[in-house]
Structure 1
Amino acid sequence: MKEFSCIITALWLGSLGTAIKPPTTDVVHEQRHPDASSTLIKRWKPHSGLQLPMRIGLKQNNIEKAPRWLMDVAHPTSKKYGKHWTAQEVIEAFKPSDETVDSVKQWLEDSGIAEWRITHSNNKAWLAFEASLDEAETLLHSDYLVYQNTNGRMITDCESYTIPQHLTKHIDYITPGVKGVDITSRLRHHAIKGGVSSGQVRPRGTKLGRRRFKPRKRLSTAPIPKDLSTCDKAITPVCLQTLYQFESLDTTSVVSSNNSLGIFEEADYYSQVDLNLFYAKYAPHISKGWGPELNSIDGGEAPVPFTQAGGESSMDFQLAIPIIYPQKAVVYQTDDGYYSTLENKMGIFNTFLDAIDGSYCTYCSDGECGNDPELDPVYPDSHHNGYKGKLMCGVYKPTAAISISYGKQEQDLPAYYQKRQCNEFLKLGLQGVSIFVASGDTGVGGIPGDGTRNGCLRNGKVFSPTQPNSCPWLTNVGASMIPRGKTVNDPEVAAASEGFYSGGGFSNIFPIPDYQSEAVENFFEISKPRYAYYHNGSYGSSNGLYNRNGRGIPDVAANGVNIAVYVGGSLVTEGGTSASAPIFAALVTRINEERLKIGKSVVGFVNPVLYAHPEVFNDIVNGTNPGCDTQGFSCAPGWVSPYLK
């Protein structure tokens, strides 16, 4: 623990103190659950002069109206279809009322926090100010402690705090409060006499689960570029063109500058050498050296030498670029070398969302303001070769379509964390951004060994939904496949290959959205799943295996088995729903291009259109998605896994 020797000297080993008794007009606003600190170690009392970054999350307006507003611009029958909002319009629609801002400011000023010390955030959701520990404890009638999280970072929080009763309708929550903030750097610059011995850091539990089908197979015989007879063994660009009935764009086509495809990557990197090899073999119309534009987020780097290339990034771009070329692709390469490794991080997507929407950096929702100090990276990163810049906020414009082939299970992250991100996906949808996410590769279960015996809930029996897939404001993409011995002219089936089964099921956090309700009802009526079920996510008090009234996953599907890919200079096959997501996102990018040519808008959040027009799909009616010691759900006409004609 040498790294924290300077921190330890900054702490004062004293009594925990007693909070100042609040006035009778105050009420407890938040109180931490007894299990909330299960991953934290020894707490100490900080020095009274320590400066804390106080943030007051203000109650926002119109959150309950947001789904209706999204349907206004996303449903094909709406008169406002395609009339997407600007980022500023989103901020104005949800900002707190003037009464809320004025009331909270008045309380702060009456409590000795001068007006000149208070900053109102750009997204209008926060009031921010610096306060000494003494000021914070007097203001909130609380006791603050310092503890160490599983990343070795120093956090301060309190067990509970109070505010005047009349402000409860104006204040969402306050940080540091029962949710802590990282004060590692502040402690390093606030050393005083005294010290304590450090405790043992507890090992982190859940790791980030990347959605990628393994193992990888080396192709002994390379498929011929225009040969359709081997598509059941290796999917090439010509196989996809025939399956989904599209042609490559003319290389001289004039394409819109407002219609790029963005692809999220983390801890996996593409190589230009591999792209060039793939072009030469299967897409000779693409210029050598053509690759995605790098949008580096908090130290993310790409491309890399081919010896360091990863299968995920290689597959994503070798699938997507031949579909959209000469349209531009963008890689959102996220987080530095330390935080992007699987062993050092629990959360996912927050720093990415920060970078494409600056308001998200300070957005308050469901008990969270900004990033989580226990789950998310902290920048500048003090680790060796860490990114030393500030957290990147709003530095990149989101592309019209974004493909994400990464994720976790719902149980891996707190519900508030997922709900905050889900609200952001809704706001991006209002602005015309389409987000496509791979549905997972373990059927109705999770990743075996990921905190459970077989990746499933309640003693390995209950189905485990994926995250962020359960959010209703994005599009989930499952995987289909050409059965061995069949051709591109035969019906695809649900993906099943060497332990890989397309992910699907029902959320334990989010209810069935209106646009999906009829499809879900029809599915239950036709397929008649034989498993006991529960409602409202209450699997702990039920013998059921899945949530009957949860958001259904996936929405659509595309091929995801035996994808021909160059990785590290070798031709191999990869797969998983990680392949399906960029395929579908690329096809929607092509649709966007055609709409823009005739003066229409991009499609934006596309689910209402997809569910309102099932005639544009072919049904996958064969296959299951096993998991949790069951056969999972069976495909049925109408849903679960349609694919593009």
Structure 2
Amino acid sequence: MLLLGTLGALVALSSPVVAIPTSKASIVQKISNAPQGWTKHDAKVDKTSSMMESFAYQVVANCSQIATPGNELYGKHLSKEEADKFLAPKPESVQAVQEWLKGAGLGDRAEVDGSGDNILVRASVADVEKLLHAEYDPFVAQDSGEVIMRTLQYSLPDNLKQHIDVVQPTTYFGVKSTRLTQISLRNNETPSNQTSCERSNPSCLSDLYSYGSAKAYSNGRMGIAGFIGQFASKSDLATFMSKEATQNNTDQSFSCVSVNDGGCPEDNPGVEANLDTQYARAITEKIPNVFYSTGGSPPTNGSVPDNEPYLDFLNYLLGLSDEDLPNTISISYGDVEYTVPNDYATKCCDLFAKLGARGVSVLISSGDSGVGNSCPGGKFETAFPAACPWVTTVGGTDGTGPEKAWSGSGSGFSEIFAQPSYQSDTVNKWLENDLTHQGQNPYFNSSGRAYPDVSALATKYPIVVNGATNGVMGTSASAPVFASIIQLINSDRLSNGKTPLGFLNPWLYSSAASALTDITDGSNRGCGNIGGQGFQAVQGWDPVTGLALHDEPKKSFTTRLRMNVTYSTTTAALHAGVELEMFLDGGGSGFWTTGFSIYDL
């Protein structure tokens, strides 16, 4: 995807036709080898190349102001019309790239979408190789046999670099496989009406977090993301609700939307998709739930996806009307950050910021491998998009008496994104007292975006798949639970004539911090040849549980969050070492299911 940038356009707006002079081409993106698990394959494969837009840094600054309590713009989210106008690529950028494609003989193969943001180019391997000065090869995933076309480097004309941010598919390898551990399913589970947390069922969660009933709310919309062939079953949901529902909402279901031919079959339910939809439905009651089934992950049999899943999903959401846009999105999928090209990660993160500007709260699971699986080069493995500064990342806890850090809770410091100002004071306090790593060492980038932001219970979740009840654990459970509670707050605000929360983090790190109970016990595990070097849960924020989530006796979590609104001053941190400082009004901001293990209850 060629991503048109809106910054620094050099072509005069008054020119009716932009002539693109001959320009030297230089390398834009280069990787030395395919990511671990991929090898070259000699199959003949067709491919598709597509391109899309980006937006100016002023938009990112605006997103931060809208999300910061105390700022005069707080809560004044952009409508679709305002966002399309304010965030659109400059006309000269679109025209420059179209002229370039025309000069390469590909002008008649380029399609611009209705918003003007996206340009899709369909071309042969030879044509794209010539256009990008690249060499494409088929690569096969060693564990699954999936075949995709990718290149290890590509180039662009120097005079187009100010117009183009990202080209995909190029060096991003995307999904290898789901990371699920299957067990035999059991059909003899009996319905549970227990309220203890021996199992993390809806009754337990309601008692633990005191979020109360949402049966009075039917406004707003809860969104659940589905990728890589994970499909949700309405019949399994009905079985789950008949056993586990606690709020008289046993007749509630969800709607499924197919994005990029993702499909909505009922006969092939996935553990991840069922987990997400079952707990979102149980917590949000009558609030509409939408499962977005997005295609585009690398398929088998040698074919190649038209689009990368995240960009396709995010642009679909941003194309929705204000009435159809969800208030909250739960995402339980991710990549190891070092396998994701910086420009691609930055583009996706910018689109998450754009969703925040439109009033959407995005919550993403932090992963289930502690600080990483193999930790090549002796460095912790961070996850994307968990490390994006424009999403709220949810880690995991274990136990209820009291909760402690779950050993699998994903955590880390981004190597791509600079530490945003909304968390800098909090994270720096942790760094100053980090006895394990002395605040800095070769294992992690102490100046990077740190995660998780919050956490919730991650273990002993009963779910229903193909009619059988079995148990799962992981931050794939924590994320939809926390997201669903946020949707309760969003629906409450909408019912009272207020705007939804939108991007949460400036609020969470300031106004809402006192509504979150600190988790101070436990740790997550190390990895590879640095197995003893994980993170410890300590007083205050830490890179295992973040700000955590727990309840104070006799006080509703949602009520406490609504009550804790104060003013703060913030700066808006941009990606990878670029920071724009603002002085605000106010007093005083390989793609996999992040997964789970499955076990017998």
The two structures have a TM-score, normalised by structure 2, of 0.73
> Is 1:626 equivalent to 2:586 in the alignment?
no
Following TM superposition, by how much is the alpha carbon of 1:277 offset from its aligned partner in structure 2, in angstroms?
A: 2.4
Matched positions, count: 514
The alpha-carbon distance between structure 1 residues 347 and 340, as it changes in their structure 2 partners (threshold 3 A), is: farther
Following TM superposition, by how much is the alpha carbon of 1:172 offset from its aligned partner in structure 2, in angstroms?
A: 2.5
Q: Which amino acid aligns with 2:66?
A: V
Following TM superposition, by how much is the alpha carbon of 1:606 offset from its aligned partner in structure 2, in angstroms?
A: 0.7
Question: Which residue is equivalent to 2:428?
Answer: 521
The 5-angstrom pairing of residues 56-75 of structure 1 reads 63-75=56-68
Q: Distance in 2 between matches of 1:114 and 1:564?
A: 53
> Is 1:255 equivalent to 2:218 in the alignment?
yes
Q: Distance in 2 between matches of 1:436 and 1:549?
A: 22
> Is 1:638 equivalent to 2:537 in the alignment?
no
Question: Which residue is equivalent to 2:412?
Answer: 505
Following TM superposition, by how much is the alpha carbon of 1:464 offset from its aligned partner in structure 2, in angstroms?
A: 0.5
Extract unaligned runs of 5+ from structure 2.
1-19, 141-145, 552-601
Task: Choose the corresponding residue for 1:404, options 327, 331, 349.
Answer: 331
SS in 2 for 1:502: coil
Contact 1:217 1:574 in 2 (8 A): no
> Is 1:349 equivalent to 2:310 in the alignment?
yes
Q: Which amino acid aligns with 1:491?
A: P
403-412 vs 94-103, which moves further: 94-103
Contact 2:147 2:300 in 1 (8 A): no
Following TM superposition, by how much is the alpha carbon of 1:274 offset from its aligned partner in structure 2, in angstroms?
A: 2.6
335-344 vs 412-421, which moves further: 335-344
Q: Distance in 2 between matches of 1:54 and 1:341?
A: 19
The alpha-carbon distance between structure 1 residues 294 and 114, as it changes in their structure 2 partners (threshold 3 A), is: closer
Larger Rg: 1
Q: Which amino acid aligns with 2:58?
A: K
Q: Distance in 1 between matches of 2:243 and 2:52?
A: 54
Following TM superposition, by how much is the alpha carbon of 1:322 offset from its aligned partner in structure 2, in angstroms?
A: 1.6
Contact 2:431 2:438 in 1 (8 A): no
Q: Distance in 1 between matches of 2:459 and 2:404?
A: 11
Question: Which residue is equivalent to 1:298?
Answer: 260
Question: Which residue is equivalent to 2:404?
Answer: 493
Q: Which amino acid aligns with 1:611?
A: Y
The alpha-carbon distance between structure 1 residues 112 and 396, as it changes in their structure 2 partners (threshold 3 A), is: same
The alpha-carbon distance between structure 1 residues 66 and 217, as it changes in their structure 2 partners (threshold 3 A), is: same
The alpha-carbon distance between structure 1 residues 627 and 601, as it changes in their structure 2 partners (threshold 3 A), is: same
> Is 1:318 equivalent to 2:278 in the alignment?
yes
Following TM superposition, by how much is the alpha carbon of 1:146 offset from its aligned partner in structure 2, in angstroms?
A: 6.6
> Is 1:580 equivalent to 2:500 in the alignment?
no
Q: Distance in 1 between matches of 2:433 and 2:125?
A: 61
Following TM superposition, by how much is the alpha carbon of 1:457 offset from its aligned partner in structure 2, in angstroms?
A: 2.0
Which has the higher relative contact order, 1 or 2, with Cα contacts under 8 A spaced 6 or more apart?
2
C-alpha offsets along residues 32-88 of structure 1, whole Å, 9 cap, x if unaligned? Answer: 6484789667899x9xxxxx9998878x66x22233211111011111111111233
Following TM superposition, by how much is the alpha carbon of 1:234 offset from its aligned partner in structure 2, in angstroms?
A: 0.9
Following TM superposition, by how much is the alpha carbon of 1:316 offset from its aligned partner in structure 2, in angstroms?
A: 1.7
Question: Which residue is equivalent to 1:225?
Answer: 193
- Aligned-residue sequence identity (percent) comes to 28
SS in 1 for 2:24: strand
The alpha-carbon distance between structure 1 residues 242 and 122, as it changes in their structure 2 partners (threshold 3 A), is: same
Question: Which residue is equivalent to 2:164?
Answer: 172
Q: Distance in 1 between matches of 2:69 and 2:181?
A: 35
The alpha-carbon distance between structure 1 residues 531 and 241, as it changes in their structure 2 partners (threshold 3 A), is: same
Q: Distance in 2 between matches of 1:114 and 1:240?
A: 56
SS in 1 for 2:333: coil
The alpha-carbon distance between structure 1 residues 594 and 530, as it changes in their structure 2 partners (threshold 3 A), is: same
Following TM superposition, by how much is the alpha carbon of 1:291 offset from its aligned partner in structure 2, in angstroms?
A: 1.7
Following TM superposition, by how much is the alpha carbon of 1:546 offset from its aligned partner in structure 2, in angstroms?
A: 1.1
- Cα-Cα RMSD: 4.4
The 5-angstrom pairing of residues 339-418 of structure 1 reads 339=299, 348-358=309-319, 397-418=324-345
Extract unaligned runs of 5+ from structure 1.
1-22, 47-51, 183-203, 359-392, 447-454, 483-487, 535-543
> Is 1:464 equivalent to 2:456 in the alignment?
no
Following TM superposition, by how much is the alpha carbon of 1:495 offset from its aligned partner in structure 2, in angstroms?
A: 1.5
Task: Choose the corresponding residue for 1:27, options 10, 24, 32.
Answer: 24
Following TM superposition, by how much is the alpha carbon of 1:288 offset from its aligned partner in structure 2, in angstroms?
A: 5.1
Q: Which amino acid aligns with 2:258?
A: S
SS in 1 for 2:221: coil
Question: Which residue is equivalent to 1:3?
Answer: none
SS in 1 for 2:396: strand
Contact 1:295 1:330 in 2 (8 A): yes
SS in 2 for 1:583: helix
Following TM superposition, by how much is the alpha carbon of 1:243 offset from its aligned partner in structure 2, in angstroms?
A: 0.9
Question: Which residue is equivalent to 1:602?
Answer: 500
Q: Which amino acid aligns with 1:456?
A: C
C-alpha offsets along residues 397-429 of structure 1, whole Å, 9 cap, x if unaligned? Answer: 441111111212112322222111111111111
